[in-house]
Structure 1
Amino acid sequence: MRKILLTTALVLPLSGFAIAQEADNAAEEAVENTAQATENAAEATADAAGDAADAASDAAGNAADAASDAAGDAADAAGDAADAAGEAADDAADATENAAEDAAASADNAADEAADAADAAGDEAADAMDAETTEADAAETETMEAETMEADTMEADAEAVDAEAAAEDAEEAALEAEMANSDKIAREQSMNELRVDWITGASVTSPDGDSIGDVNDLILDTENGSMIAAIIGVGGFLGIGEKQIAVPWDQLTVNYDAEEITTELTQEEAEAAPEYVFREREAAPAPAPAAGDAGMEGDAAMETAPEADAAMEAETETEAETTQ
């Protein structure tokens, strides 16, 4: 084991020296290679610089030639443009002059036409004014004529109204004259004629001055229109239990001026007098029934007939008892 270790210890230094020697050789070789590469690069740079200088010189020469050519071309173009501008200016001047002349001529023509139009318009306006004046005069004349006709019409209407009113007045006067002599009316109250407005409701007194009752109604003769009797309510209190007696008109003394009525009956005789019997009023004729309702109304009349007969019999019996 010790031998191995000793051998290893001897071998390691020797290996290190060999490695170091190899490293130095490699370094020297690298330096030489670098120097050679630097030299080669310098030569290549010098060659490239020479080539670039030659190329720049050639380019500068070519550019100078091109600039000179361009300047010549530009000068030629400027000359041509100057010539064209001069010609255009001359043409423009000629065109402007021609246009001014044309415009002046057009303006003169327009002025002449405007003057002619103004003259025509003035003539038309004058004609229109004359026509308007003529129409206004005609309209005024028509208006005056219409007003005159209207006034005449109104006057005629007024005369017609007056004539109609006069005719009506004459007709009314003729009718009044006719009725003044007509037997259809009574013209004034005679001494023997009485107004009965105050008689109905008036008190009737006996010869002793006692009130026997008030006049409730009057009985007239329909054949000759004479007064038959006065219906007087006798007895009772406030209309209850009152009976109505009829006193012949010739048995009453009527003081028209004093509005007093007296009778020869005493109060006792009036209370003992029988009650007046009124006749039944006849019913007004019924309207003619329609064709469809004739049968129904006939049946209804037949049904109500017995009831009407019974009512009449009962009323007759009542009147008989009262008379007794």
Structure 2
Amino acid sequence: MNYEDRDTFGIYKINKLQSLGPTTHHGPGPHLMGANTLIGNEVYNKDAENLGDIKEIMLDMRNGRVSYAVLSFGGVLGLGEKLFAVPWSALRLDTVRKCFVLHVSKDRLRTAPGFDKNKWPDMADREWEMGIHAYYGTKFE
């Protein structure tokens, strides 16, 4: 399911009024998106391999920014899945395929620092944050 399918408020509604000209978009998307509509979106790599889906979006309440997307990868029906905190800046929204793109191979993701859904890391720990950003090659601020 993608963000347009979960758009209960009509944020990404498209009007196709043929007699009045070109297709027009209403709402803020895709430059501003509702967090609830992004949870569940699939994530692919540049080779179009499915890497999983977004389970949660982590907001840094100290600076008002999105810090991480929690990505679920592996397992079947939630069993054996591993969670990964992916820096938000490592993800790109593909508005054509309506998914996120993360530039890592499946093998690299398998060896990424991850965690179990019942044992989350301290994401506010500066050392942990630096390690995650270093792994994905993103800038740590």
Return the TM-score normalized by structure 1. 0.27
Aligned amino acid, residue 209 of structure 1? A
Change (3 A) 1:257 1:194: farther
Could you tell me how far 1:258 is from its partner in structure 2? 4.6
Question: 1:205 maps to which residue?
Answer: 44
Structure 1 residue 278 displacement after superposition: 3.2
Query: Equivalents in 2 of 1:190, 1:216: separation in Å?
Result: 20
The answer as to whether partners of 1:194 and 1:256 remain within 8 angstroms in 2 is no
Q: Which has the higher strand share?
A: 2
CA–CA separation in structure 2 for the residues paired with 1:255 and 1:225 = 24
- CA 1:258 to 1:209, structure 2 compared with 1: closer, same or farther past 3 Å? closer
- Residue 212 of structure 1 and its aligned partner are, at CA, apart by 0.9
Q: Percent identity?
A: 26
For 1:179-227, what per-residue CA distance to the aligned partner results, in whole angstroms no more than 9, with x for missing partners? Answer: xxxxxxxxx7376322223310111001100001111111111022211
Aligned AA (1:278): P
Aligned-partner Cα distance in 2 for 1:232–1:274: 12
Let me know the Cα RMSD of the aligned residues: 2.3
Question: What SS does the aligned partner of 1:198 have?
Answer: helix
- TM-superposed deviation, 1:266: 1.0
- TM-aligned CA distance change 1:223 to 1:190, over 3 Å: farther
5+ long unaligned stretches in structure 1:
1-187, 281-324
More helix by share: 1
Gaps in structure 2 of 5+ consecutive residues: 1-26, 124-141
Give 3-state SS (helix, strand or coil) of 1:232's partner. Answer: strand
Residue from 34, 45, 66 that aligns with 1:195: 34
Name the larger-Rg structure.
Answer: 1
Q: Normalization by structure 2: what TM-score?
A: 0.58
Aligned length: 93
Q: Which amino acid aligns with 1:225?
A: G
Q: Is the 8 Å Cα contact of residues 218 and 227 (structure 1) preserved in structure 2?
A: yes
Aligned ranges 1:54-133 → 2 under 5 Å? none
Match of 1:113 in 2: none
Q: Which has the higher contact order (CA 8 A, sep 6+)?
A: 2
2:46, 2:29 → 1: CA distance? 27
Is the CA contact (8 Å cut-off) linking 1:198 and 1:259 kept in structure 2?
no
Secondary structure of the 1:273 match is coil
Q: For residue 58 of structure 2, give the secondary structure of its aligned residue in structure 1.
A: strand
Find the counterpart in structure 1 of residue 57 from structure 2: 218
